Structure 1
Amino acid sequence: MQLRGFRIELGEIESALSTHPKIQESVVLVVDESGHAPQLVAWLVADQTIPVEDIRDWLGNTLPLYMIPAAFLFVDSFALTPNGKLDKAVLPKPQTRTIGSTDTYVAPSTPTEQTLTEIWQDVLSIERVGIHDSFFALGGDSIKSIPVIARARKQGLSLSLLQLFKDPDIQSLARSIDAHDSDDIETVITAAFDLISEEDRKRLPNDVVDAYPLSMLQAGILFHMQLSPESRIYHDVHSTILEVDFDADAFIKAIETTLARHPVLRTSLSLADYSTPLQLVHRSAPANFVYRDIRHMSEIEQESCIDSWLREEKDSLFAFDSAPLIRFSVHQRTDTQIEFTGAVCHVVFDGWSENSTITELWDLHFQYASGESVCPKALPGTYRDFVALERSIISDTKYRTFWKQEIEGYEPAALPRWPQEYRSTELTPVCSPQQHVSEELTHHLTALSSDLKVPLQAVLLAAHIKVISMLMGSQRVCTGMVSHSRPDIEGGEAIKGLYLNTIPMVMDLGGHTWKSLVLHIYEKEQRLFPFRQYPMGQIKKDTGQEFLFESAFGYVHFHVMEELYRTGKLRRISETRRWAPTDFPLMSVFIHDPIEDRLSITLDFDAAELSPKQIESIGEYYFKTLATLTKNPDALCSSRCLLPHNEMQTIARLNPVIEVQATQYAVQNLFDQQVARTPDTVALIEGDTTTSYRVLQEDANQLANYLIQIGVKPGGKIGICLARSTRFVTAVLAVLKAGAIYVPLDLDYPPDRLAFMSDDSETLVVLSDNLSHAHLPDGIARLILLDETSGDIAACDDTSPDITITVDHPAYIMYTSGSTGVPKGILIPHKAIVRLVINPDYVSLDATETILMLAPVSFDASTFELWGSLLNGGQLAIMTDNLSSLEQIGRAIHGHCVTTMFLTSGLFHQLADEDLQALAPLKQLLFGGEVMSVPHVGKIMQAHPDCTLIHCYGPTENTTFSSCYTVKEEDLAHQPLPIGRPINGTQMVIVGPDLHLCPIGVAGELCLGGVGLAMGYLNRPTLTAEQFIPDPFSAVPGARLYRSGDLARILPSGLIEFVGRIDHQVKIRGFRIELAEIEVELTRHAQVREAVVLARLDTPGSKRLAAYVVAEPNTTLTSEILKQFLTKTLPSYMIPLAFVVLDELPLTANGKVDRDVLPAPAWGRISAAAEFVAPSTEREKIIARLWQEVLGGEAPGVTDNFFENGGDSLSATRLISRIRRACDVELPLRVLFDTPTIREVATAVNDEDDREEFEI
Structure 2
Amino acid sequence: MALPNDKKPSKLSAAQQKALLAKRLNRKAAAPAYDAIPQRAQNSPCPASFAQERLWFIETLQPGTAAYNIGYQFHLRGDLNAPALEQSLNTIVARHEGLRTCFDMMNGQVMQIIADEVTLPLLMEDLQGISMAEQAQQVKALVEKERQQPFDLKQAPLLRAKLVALSPQENILLLNMHHIISDGWSMSVFNHELSTLYAAYLKGESNPLPELTIQYADFAVWQRQWLQGEVLEQQLAYWQKQLGDNPPRLQLPTDHNRPTLSTFQGQRRYLHLPGSTLEALKRLSYQESSTLFMTLLAAFKVLLLRYTQQTDILIGTPLANRLRKEIEPLIGFFVNTLVLRTDLAENPTFRELLQRVRQVCLDGYAHQSLPFEKIVEVLKPERALNRTPFINVMFVLQNASNQAFQLEGITAEALRVQQNTAKFDLTLQLVEKSDGLMLVFEYTTDLFETATIERMAGHYQTLLESIPENLDTPLAQLPLLTDAEHRTLLTEWAGSQTNYPRNATIQRLFEAQAQQTPEAVALVFEGTPLTYRDLNHKANQLAHYLQSLGVKPGDLVGLCLERSLDVVVATLAILKAGGAYVPLDPHYPHERLAFMLADTQISVLITHQSLREQLPPFEGHLVSLDTLWPDLEPNSTANLTVDGAAEDLAYVMYTSGSTGQPKGVCVTHRNVVRLVKNTNFACLSPEETFLQFAPISFDAATFEIWGPLLNGGRLVIFPPQKPSLELLGQFIAQQRITTLWLTAGLFHQMVDHQLDQLQGVRQLLAGGDVLSAPHVHKVLNQLPQTRLINGYGPTENTTFTTCYPIPTDWPEDMAVPIGRPIANTEVYILDNHLQPVPVGIPGQLYAGGDGVARGYLNRPELTAEKFIANPFGPGRLYQTGDLARYRPDGNIEFLGRMDNQVKIRGFRIELGEIETVLSQHPAVEQSIVMAREDTPGDKRLVAYVVGAEASVPDLRQHLQQKLPDYMIPAAFVLLESLPINANGKVDRQALPAPDTTRPDLSEAYEAPEGEVELLLADIWQEVLRVEQIGRHDNFFELGGHSLLAVQIVSRLQQDYQIELALRFLFEYPTIAQLAPVVEEIILSELDNE
Structure 1 404/743 Cα, relative in aligned 2: closer, same or farther at 3 Å?
A: farther
Question: Helix, strand or coil: the match of 1:272?
Answer: strand
Question: 1: distance between equivalents of 2:901 and 2:148?
Answer: 51
Match in the other structure for 1:469: 305
Given the alignment of the two structures, is residue 591 of structure 1 paired with residue 431 of structure 2, yes or no? yes
Q: Which amino acid aligns with 2:90?
A: E
CA contact (8 A) 2:18 2:286 kept: no
Question: Helix, strand or coil: the match of 1:579?
Answer: coil
Structure 1 561/691 Cα, relative in aligned 2: closer, same or farther at 3 Å?
A: closer
In the TM superposition, residue 224 of structure 1 has moved relative to its aligned partner by: 2.6
Given the alignment of the two structures, is residue 450 of structure 1 paired with residue 286 of structure 2, yes or no? yes
1:246 alignment partner, one of 72, 76, 80:
80
Structure 1 935/563 Cα, relative in aligned 2: closer, same or farther at 3 Å?
A: closer
In the TM superposition, residue 348 of structure 1 has moved relative to its aligned partner by: 1.9
2:885 alignment partner, one of 1019, 1026, 1049:
1049
Match in the other structure for 1:754: 593
Match in the other structure for 1:53: none
Structure 1 377/1024 Cα, relative in aligned 2: closer, same or farther at 3 Å?
A: farther
Match in the other structure for 1:441: 277
CA deviations 1:120-168 (Å, max 9, x no partner) are xxxxxxxx9975133464487338x6xxxxxxxxxxxxxx44xxxxxxx
Given the two structures, how large is their TM-score scaled by the length of structure 1? 0.69
Question: 2: distance between equivalents of 1:938 and 1:282?
Answer: 62
Question: Helix, strand or coil: the match of 2:180?
Answer: coil
In the TM superposition, residue 295 of structure 1 has moved relative to its aligned partner by: 5.2
Q: Whose relative contact order is higher, 1 or 2, with alpha carbons under 8 Å and at least 6 apart?
A: 2
Structure 1 379/555 Cα, relative in aligned 2: closer, same or farther at 3 Å?
A: farther
In the TM superposition, residue 185 of structure 1 has moved relative to its aligned partner by: 9.3
Match in the other structure for 2:1005: none
In the TM superposition, residue 404 of structure 1 has moved relative to its aligned partner by: 4.1
2:500 alignment partner, one of 661, 680, 698:
661
Given the alignment of the two structures, is residue 417 of structure 1 paired with residue 239 of structure 2, yes or no? no
Structure 1 1008/568 Cα, relative in aligned 2: closer, same or farther at 3 Å?
A: farther
2:71 alignment partner, one of 205, 222, 237:
237
Match in the other structure for 2:349: 513
Question: 2: distance between equivalents of 1:504 and 1:393?
Answer: 21
CA contact (8 A) 1:190 1:388 kept: yes
Match in the other structure for 2:93: 259
Match in the other structure for 2:416: 576
In the TM superposition, residue 187 of structure 1 has moved relative to its aligned partner by: 6.7
| Structure 2 alignment gaps of length 5 or more | 903-910, 912-917, 949-970, 987-1089
Question: Helix, strand or coil: the match of 1:970?
Answer: coil
Question: 2: distance between equivalents of 1:691 and 1:185?
Answer: 98
In the TM superposition, residue 1064 of structure 1 has moved relative to its aligned partner by: 4.6
Question: Helix, strand or coil: the match of 1:977?
Answer: coil
Match in the other structure for 1:221: 55
Question: 2: distance between equivalents of 1:855 and 1:477?
Answer: 47
Q: Which amino acid aligns with 1:277?
A: V
1:286 alignment partner, one of 119, 133, 147:
119
In the TM superposition, residue 293 of structure 1 has moved relative to its aligned partner by: 5.5
User: How is 1:70-81 mapped onto 2 (pairs within 5 angstroms)?
Assistant: none
CA contact (8 A) 2:277 2:465 kept: yes
Q: Which amino acid aligns with 1:637?
A: L
Per mean C-alpha deviation after superposition, the further-off stretch among 637-646 and 714-723 is: 637-646
In the TM superposition, residue 344 of structure 1 has moved relative to its aligned partner by: 1.4
Structure 1 788/750 Cα, relative in aligned 2: closer, same or farther at 3 Å?
A: same
In the TM superposition, residue 1104 of structure 1 has moved relative to its aligned partner by: 7.3
Structure 1 393/833 Cα, relative in aligned 2: closer, same or farther at 3 Å?
A: farther
Given the alignment of the two structures, is residue 848 of structure 1 paired with residue 687 of structure 2, yes or no? yes
Match in the other structure for 1:406: 242
Question: Helix, strand or coil: the match of 2:563?
Answer: coil
In the TM superposition, residue 441 of structure 1 has moved relative to its aligned partner by: 2.0
Structure 1 316/684 Cα, relative in aligned 2: closer, same or farther at 3 Å?
A: same
In the TM superposition, residue 1207 of structure 1 has moved relative to its aligned partner by: 8.9
In the TM superposition, residue 789 of structure 1 has moved relative to its aligned partner by: 3.4
CA deviations 1:288-330 (Å, max 9, x no partner) are 4234554544322321231122022112222212222223333
Structure 1 780/998 Cα, relative in aligned 2: closer, same or farther at 3 Å?
A: farther
CA contact (8 A) 2:772 2:926 kept: no
Structure 1 849/213 Cα, relative in aligned 2: closer, same or farther at 3 Å?
A: same
Q: Which amino acid aligns with 2:715?
A: L
1:741 alignment partner, one of 574, 580, 593:
580
Question: 2: distance between equivalents of 1:580 and 1:570?
Answer: 30
Q: Which amino acid aligns with 1:435?
A: L
Given the alignment of the two structures, is residue 359 of structure 1 paired with residue 201 of structure 2, yes or no? no
Question: Helix, strand or coil: the match of 1:306?
Answer: helix
Structure 1 568/237 Cα, relative in aligned 2: closer, same or farther at 3 Å?
A: same
Match in the other structure for 1:307: 140
Structure 1 1107/714 Cα, relative in aligned 2: closer, same or farther at 3 Å?
A: farther
Q: Which amino acid aligns with 1:314?
A: R
Q: Which amino acid aligns with 1:218?
A: Q
Given the alignment of the two structures, is residue 133 of structure 1 paired with residue 45 of structure 2, yes or no? no
Structure 1 315/797 Cα, relative in aligned 2: closer, same or farther at 3 Å?
A: same
Question: Helix, strand or coil: the match of 1:969?
Answer: coil
Match in the other structure for 1:837: 676
Question: 1: distance between equivalents of 2:293 and 2:931?
Answer: 51
Q: Which amino acid aligns with 1:581?
A: T
2:655 alignment partner, one of 816, 822, 830:
816
Question: Helix, strand or coil: the match of 1:133?
Answer: helix
Question: Helix, strand or coil: the match of 1:471?
Answer: helix
Structure 1 1018/409 Cα, relative in aligned 2: closer, same or farther at 3 Å?
A: farther
Question: 2: distance between equivalents of 1:189 and 1:965?
Answer: 68
Question: 2: distance between equivalents of 1:378 and 1:1107?
Answer: 63
2:161 alignment partner, one of 328, 334, 337:
328
Question: Helix, strand or coil: the match of 1:482?
Answer: strand
User: How is 1:191-230 mapped onto 2 (pairs within 5 angstroms)?
Assistant: 191-192=39-40, 209-229=43-63
Per mean C-alpha deviation after superposition, the further-off stretch among 435-444 and 911-920 is: 435-444
Match in the other structure for 1:375: 208
Match in the other structure for 1:554: 395
Per mean C-alpha deviation after superposition, the further-off stretch among 543-552 and 924-933 is: 543-552
CA contact (8 A) 1:683 1:874 kept: yes
CA contact (8 A) 2:249 2:391 kept: no
Match in the other structure for 2:1032: none
Structure 1 452/989 Cα, relative in aligned 2: closer, same or farther at 3 Å?
A: same
Question: 1: distance between equivalents of 2:366 and 2:516?
Answer: 83
Match in the other structure for 1:973: 812
Question: Helix, strand or coil: the match of 1:950?
Answer: strand
Question: Helix, strand or coil: the match of 1:746?
Answer: coil
Structure 1 439/805 Cα, relative in aligned 2: closer, same or farther at 3 Å?
A: same
1:895 alignment partner, one of 734, 737, 760:
734
Given the alignment of the two structures, is residue 523 of structure 1 paired with residue 359 of structure 2, yes or no? yes
In the TM superposition, residue 580 of structure 1 has moved relative to its aligned partner by: 7.0
Structure 1 665/929 Cα, relative in aligned 2: closer, same or farther at 3 Å?
A: same
In the TM superposition, residue 574 of structure 1 has moved relative to its aligned partner by: 6.2
Structure 1 216/438 Cα, relative in aligned 2: closer, same or farther at 3 Å?
A: same
Given the alignment of the two structures, is residue 929 of structure 1 paired with residue 768 of structure 2, yes or no? yes
Question: 2: distance between equivalents of 1:1209 and 1:761?
Answer: 21
User: How is 1:1087-1126 mapped onto 2 (pairs within 5 angstroms)?
Assistant: 1100-1102=924-926
Match in the other structure for 2:624: 785
Match in the other structure for 1:1217: none
Per mean C-alpha deviation after superposition, the further-off stretch among 989-998 and 954-963 is: 989-998
Question: Helix, strand or coil: the match of 2:109?
Answer: coil
User: How is 1:522-921 mapped onto 2 (pairs within 5 angstroms)?
Assistant: 522-541=358-377, 542-546=379-383, 551-557=392-398, 573=413, 575-579=415-419, 581-593=421-433, 596=434, 598-645=436-483, 647-651=485-489, 652-656=491-495, 658-779=497-618, 781-921=620-760
Question: Helix, strand or coil: the match of 2:181?
Answer: coil
- RMSD of aligned Cα (Å): 3.7
In the TM superposition, residue 719 of structure 1 has moved relative to its aligned partner by: 0.9
Question: 2: distance between equivalents of 1:1065 and 1:792?
Answer: 57
Question: 2: distance between equivalents of 1:498 and 1:847?
Answer: 77
Question: 1: distance between equivalents of 2:751 and 2:570?
Answer: 35
Match in the other structure for 2:961: none
Q: Which amino acid aligns with 2:288?
A: L
Compare CA radii of gyration and give the structure with the larger one: 1
Question: Helix, strand or coil: the match of 1:432?
Answer: strand
**How many equivalent pairs are there?**
932
